[in-house]
Amino acid sequence: MQIATVRIEKPEAVNFILGQSHFIKTVEDLHEALVGAAPGLQFGLAFCEASPPALVRWSGTSAEMIELAKRNALAIGAGHSFIAFLANAFPVQVLNAVKAVPEVCRIFCATANPVEVVVAQTEQGRAILGVVDGISPAGVEGEAEIAERKALLRRFGYKL
């Protein structure tokens, strides 16, 4: 077995969700869940089929996000993994809908941070072992950072 990392390639501000599912129906069900969770959402999603013909299946509402999803899914290459790029939304707006899709087994990350996907390669194929999401902490927040965090959440409308 060999272990490698795959860097997610995307524009800095674009959010994405990386997960694992278990059935080809994932593409249609995730598409429906995303559209239903955030009307007007622009997204692209791709799913790595784990049995023949072993294709990257895809869907979405934005050509740019679809291309990102296809390119990154192919680079990761882990069977039954999926990736959804969001053009005008945050994962928090759609994550519960994604997790509620019956085929979804787990979510590895939902972020706009730089991400490296840690993959294992065997004779059979690839598996996602985990992700490196963002950077390591530089310290512990103080009173000023607490105030900034609370103001940010209220500015975004997540807290009153």
User: Domain extents for the chain?
Assistant: 2-155
CA torsion sign, 130 to 133 to 137 to 143? negative
pLDDT of residue 115: 98
What pairs with residue 126 in β-bridges?
121
What's the Cα-to-Cα distance from 95 to each of 38, 57, 71, 146, rounded to whole Å?
11, 20, 22, 25
In 3D space, the residue among 72, 90, 87 whose CA is nearest the CA of residue 131 turns out to be 72
pLDDT of residue 158 exceeding 90: no
Query: If pLDDT is split at 50, 70 and 90, which confidence band does 42 have?
Result: very high
CATH architecture for the domain at 2-155: 3-Layer(aba) Sandwich (3.40)
Share of the chain above pLDDT 70, in %: 100
With cut-offs at 50, 70 and 90, classify the pLDDT of residue 74: very high
pLDDT in tens, 8-33: 999 999 999 999 999 889 999 999 99
In this model, does residue 39 exceed pLDDT 90?
no
Average pLDDT on 64-84 reads: 98
Number of neighbours of residue 4 by Cβ within 10 angstroms: 12
pLDDT for position 122: 97
pLDDT value of residue 88: 85
User: CA nearest 156: which of 84, 102, 93?
Assistant: 93
> Per-residue pLDDT averaged across 76-81, rounded?
97
User: What is the rounded average pLDDT for all residues in the chain?
Assistant: 96
Which strand (E) or helix (H) includes residue 145?
A: helix 143-155
- Section 34-59 average pLDDT: 95
